[in-house]
């Protein structure tokens, strides 16, 4: 599995994650192949989808038809070809777990949008 790092300050991580999703979709990935995880504030699209209720929100993960947005430490188990991890804040002690969650859920690629020093060292 490949890991791509995009250095960006936490306050810009969500924007860079959105840009990454756009590039992935433009390059031919299907929306259902992409999972976006956040370490700080939830993505605005996650908040929108949660406004319809928990059952509706989590059903979208199971259906796998669209890009799914979730908190890195609260996302139910799911595997997607690509996981975009937006390191947009959160407890520094939880970042290792968030990174591990992203790696565990990806089958081909993890795109990390955040400051290099905020995550554990990455091999190869």
**Lookup: tokens for 124:** 């190869």
**Residue 120 falls inside a structural domain:** no
26 lies in which domain range?
Answer: 2-113
Parallel, antiparallel or unpaired: strands 68-71 and 106-113: unpaired
**Residue 16 falls inside a structural domain:** yes
For residue 115, what pLDDT is reported? Answer: 85
Work out the burial of residue 99: count CB atoms within 10 Å of its CB; fewer than 13 is exposed, 13-18 middle, 19 or more buried.
buried
**Residue 124 falls inside a structural domain:** no
Looking up residue 36, the CATH number of its domain turns out to be 3.40.50.300
- What DSSP character marks residue 75? P
The model's pLDDT over 44-92, given as tens digits with 9 standing for 90+, comes to: 999 999 999 999 999 999 999 999 999 999 999 999 999 999 999 999 8
**Residue 92 falls inside a structural domain:** yes
For residue 92, what pLDDT is reported? Answer: 86
**Residue 119 falls inside a structural domain:** no
**Residue 57 falls inside a structural domain:** yes
Number of domains, the chain: 1
The answer on pLDDT for 124 being more than 80 is: no
pTM of the full predicted structure? 0.93
């Amino acid at each position: 599995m490949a890991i791509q790092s995009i250095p960006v300050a936490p306050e810009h991580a969500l924007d860079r994650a959105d840009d990454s999703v756009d590039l992935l979709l433009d390059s031919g990935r299907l929306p259902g192949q992409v999972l976006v995880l956040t370490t700080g504030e939830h993505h605005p699209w996650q908040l929108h989808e949660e406004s319809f209720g928990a059952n509706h929100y989590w059903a979208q993960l199971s259906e796998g038809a669209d890009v799914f947005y979730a908190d890195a430490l609260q996302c139910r188990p799911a595997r997607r070809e690509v996981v975009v991890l937006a390191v947009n804040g959160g407890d520094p002690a939880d970042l290792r777990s968030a990174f591990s969650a992203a790696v565990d859920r990806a089958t081909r690629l993890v795109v990390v949008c955040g400051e290099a020093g905020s995550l554990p060292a990455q091999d190869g």
